[in-house]
């Protein structure tokens, strides 16, 4: 339960370039230390085939949930700064390789549609690498405008999703 002035936020994390596990772990640590972030929890790390071009490494994905006291636009800027710190280049090919990808999936019950940010995140309802970790963190979660995470999960393409086993 969030306190007055806080918004429950879900952020998707992805990496398929470099030390994928390290990128995810460091990003979680960086998000947890952002001003206004509290009570961060993260899902397991999942591995999936790429959604776009198949001539690239598999992705590692996770979702984190936290309570936040800032604006969605401010959070987006902070997440983009974390991405740049991991070598993410803006304007690369769509669905291409990337060391780190951070996406605001849900921002409370808000529906946001601006040139810079769409919440719920575009395609959320069709992506196993988002829906599986969301269901792990919040099984009864309802996605504004789309329905329950469980019903969405039953009807999406799987992309070979599996829990990532570190070895």
- Which residue in the list 25, 98, 116, 154 is annotated as catalytic? 98
75 in Cβ contact with 68 (< 8 Å): yes
What residues are paired with 68 via a beta bridge? 7, 37
Residue 73: count of CB within 10 angstroms of its CB: 13
- Which residue in the list 20, 65, 67, 88 is annotated as catalytic? 88
98 is catalytic: yes
94 is catalytic: no
103 is catalytic: yes
116 is catalytic: no
- Which residue in the list 101, 127, 154, 162 is annotated as catalytic? 101
Residue 29: count of CB within 10 angstroms of its CB: 11
- Which residue in the list 20, 65, 67, 103 is annotated as catalytic? 103
Report the distance separating Cα 81 and Cα 75, nearest Å. Answer: 10
Annotated catalytic residues are 88, 98, 101, 103
């Amino acid at each position: 339960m969030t306190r007055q002035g806080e918004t429950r936020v879900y952020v998707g994390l992805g990496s398929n370039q470099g030390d994928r596990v390290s990128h995810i772990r460091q990003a979680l640590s960086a998000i947890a230390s952002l001003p206004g972030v509290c009570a961060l929890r993260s899902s397991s790390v999942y591995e999936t085939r790429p959604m776009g071009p198949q001539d690239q490494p598999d992705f590692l994905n996770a979702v984190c949930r936290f309570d936040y006291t800032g604006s969605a636009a401010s959070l987006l800027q902070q997440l983009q700064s974390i991405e740049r710190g991991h070598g993410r280049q803006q304007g690369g090919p769509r669905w291409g390789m990337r060391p780190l990808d951070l996406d605001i999936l849900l921002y409370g019950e808000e529906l946001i549609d601006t040139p810079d940010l769409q919440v719920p995140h575009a395609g959320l309802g069709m992506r196993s690498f988002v829906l599986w970790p969301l269901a792990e963190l919040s099984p009864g979660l309802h996605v504004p405008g789309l329905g329950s995470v469980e019903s969405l999960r039953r009807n999406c393409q799987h992309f070979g999703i599996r829990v990532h086993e570190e070895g």
